[in-house]
Amino acid sequence: MARIPDADAVAPAVHEAVARHREPGALLPILHDLQDRLGCIPPAAIAPLASELNLSRADVYGVVTFYPDLHEQPRGARVVRLCQAEACQAVGARELAAHASARLGIPLGATTPDGHVSLDEVFCLGNCALGPSAQVDGVLHGRVDAARLDALVETP
């Protein structure tokens, strides 16, 4: 299971990410850089990042919590994203999400305790004609039912 990086690893990673993206308005690239390096944006990164960029901690934290692709906790080894937009809802997306949550024992937006799967909701994968749609480890799948989703999640 992935763990939140310890505080000793966070400060140097923040400093290096800021140094790589030293241009105005670079908060998002810096956050993505940190997440790529550390596996998440740990709470210990907020204060040093705010200090280096001369921003408030609230500004940095607000950006981290606003964007769904930024995560304060490490993601699972497998990332499952289920479309919950209207077109997919019309063909069973809510039921598919309920099945996935029950099967994995976690709500949407969470990671299994063993760190194997993160289950996310998204509001359009651009595959509306083939709903319900799911993205598993970055690969888009259409017309996903419960059995197919189970097979996709279990097959690395």
Question: Same domain for 100 and 54?
Answer: no
User: Does residue 148 lie within any of the structural domains?
Assistant: yes
pLDDT, one tens digit per residue, over 84-131 is 999 999 999 999 999 999 999 999 999 999 999 999 999 999 999 999
User: Does residue 73 lie within any of the structural domains?
Assistant: no
The pTM assigned to this predicted structure is 0.81
Is residue 156's pLDDT more than 70? no
User: Does residue 1 lie within any of the structural domains?
Assistant: no
Query: In angstroms, what CA-CA distances link 5 with 23, 24, 51, 76, 115?
Result: 26, 27, 20, 15, 15
Question: Same domain for 89 and 26?
Answer: no
Question: Same domain for 31 and 83?
Answer: no
- Which pLDDT score, from 0 to 100, does residue 2 have? 61
Containing domain of residue 82, as a range? 78-154
Q: How many distinct structural domains can be found in the chain?
A: 2
DSSP track, 68-82:
TT--SSPPPSEEEEE
Question: Same domain for 24 and 53?
Answer: yes
Q: Which long-range CB contacts under 8 A does 144-149 form with residues at least 24 apart?
A: 144/96, 145/92, 145/96, 146/95, 146/96, 146/99, 146/103, 149/80, 149/96, 149/99, 149/100
